[in-house]
Amino acid sequence: MKTYRIATIPGDGIGKEVIPAGQRVMQAIADEGGLRFEFQNFDWGGDYYRQHGVMMPADGLDALRDQDAILFGSAGDPDIADHITLWGLRLKICQGFDQYANVRPTRILPGIDAPLKRCTPEQLNWVIVRENSEGEYSGVGGRVHQGHPIEAATDVSIMTRAGVERILHYAFKLAQSRPRKLLTVITKSNAQRHAMVMWDEIALQVSREFPDVTWDKELVDAATARMVNRPASLDTIVATNLHADILSDLAAALAGSLGIAPTGNIDPERRYPSMFEPIHGSAFDIMGQGLANPVGTFWSVVMLLEHLGETDAAARLMQAIERVTSTPALHTRDLGGQARTDDVTDAVCAQLAQGRQEKAA
């Protein structure tokens, strides 16, 4: 039987609720037979920082290196500056393991009351590919003369040909694998006339390797309006680190809730483990109350299973999730319901068990 080593990092806030829920669902999948998970939990995050002065140990990446995948909750703490929590944990793993493709599927799941009144669920089915290793989040920059009137600060956006080529290659390949074979390359190459123009040029070059993919370009500001007004004109979307970060929160909101949206930080070359996480943050306003929607984590588990090649298990879990979202009594507060994290988790596990019984019958 295939055994997968899975690192779980709940992190902060509701990460501590949704990641154990995700682990329960993974165990329910293992109970179906055919595969096993060996979980190793890492207590890194804000509490770890209070004790040790760092979000994760200096040799933390070594502890993760041999895992088959990572399930991550959230990094963020009201008492610790956001740039410390983000750079000290999540980005350290993403950059340390060169997880350069951040993949964010967005769909309106059955039973979800999404905000766009003219958009049917069939018309919103996107995958956003976010460049995840450089660009605006390169970490290059500095501050001088802090606190003085002459203080200056820079954040330098570094875009390399190698970095842009590999993300565009990944995006074209992903678009090619989807039924509509449609890609939109989003930049701001009218105002940013160096790196963004290079993106456009490289997109044209890479497109020649994918003659069966239809593609177009869009400026990021126009892209926001297009997502709202013409959602069906989009399918696969690729954008820079910052642009796709913003667009995918909009996408999640248009699909019904931030609590549903999943993401994968992928190393396509599989040199290192990839990391899967809900796109929401720590949500301190609801933490510890059992109100967190765990669906974003469950959908992230679907992506994790697909990445491991366990496509049947992934499809079974997605079906179980969709059956649960179809039931309004199982909607959490973010979806206008009253269900609790445990109710949703129990229901998904029960759906998996029911599917197993139906198969056996």
Q: Which of 19, 168, 258, 275 binds ligand ATP (CB under 6 A)?
A: 258
CB 45 within 8 A of CB 313: no
CB 348 within 8 A of CB 133: no
Residue 335: DSSP 8-state = G
274: left (phi > 0), else alpha (psi -120 to 50), else beta?
A: beta
Closer residue to ligand ATP (CB): 176 or 327: 327
CB 253 within 8 A of CB 86: no
Q: Which region among 118-126, 140-148, 288-296, 307-315 touches ligand ATP (by CB under 6 A)?
A: 288-296
74 binds ligand ATP (CB under 6 A): yes
Q: Which region among 169-177, 262-270, 275-283, 310-318 touches ligand ATP (by CB under 6 A)?
A: 275-283
Show contacts with ligand ATP in window 316-335 (CB under 6 A): 332, 334
Q: Which of 285, 288, 289, 338 binds ligand ATP (CB under 6 A)?
A: 285
Provide the minimum distance between the beta carbon of 227 and ligand ATP in the complex, in angstroms, as a whole number.
Answer: 19
256 binds ligand ATP (CB under 6 A): no
Cross-strand partners of 266: 101
Closer residue to ligand ATP (CB): 96 or 337: 337
Query: Cα–Cα distances in Å, from 212 out to 124, 180, 235, 283?
Result: 22, 10, 15, 42
Binding mask 13-32 for ligand ATP (x = CB under 6 A): -x------------------
Provide the minimum distance between the beta carbon of 288 and ligand ATP in the complex, in angstroms, as a whole number.
Answer: 12
- Calculate the CA dihedral of residues 329, 331, 335, 337 and round it to 10 degrees: 40
Q: Which of 292, 313, 324, 348 binds ligand ATP (CB under 6 A)?
A: 292
Q: Comparing C-alpha atoms, which of 146, 214, 140 is closest to residue 184? A: 214
Q: Which of 189, 293, 300, 351 binds ligand ATP (CB under 6 A)?
A: 293
Alpha-carbon gap, residue 301 to 278, rounded angstroms: 9
CB 298 within 8 A of CB 349: no
Tokens (6 digits) for 50: 């209070």
Provide the minimum distance between the beta carbon of 295 and ligand ATP in the complex, in angstroms, as a whole number.
Answer: 8
Please count the residues of this chain forming the interface with ligand ATP, following the rule CB under 6 A.
17
- Give the binding site for ligand ATP (CB under 6 A): 14, 74, 76, 258-259, 280-286, 292-293, 296, 332, 334
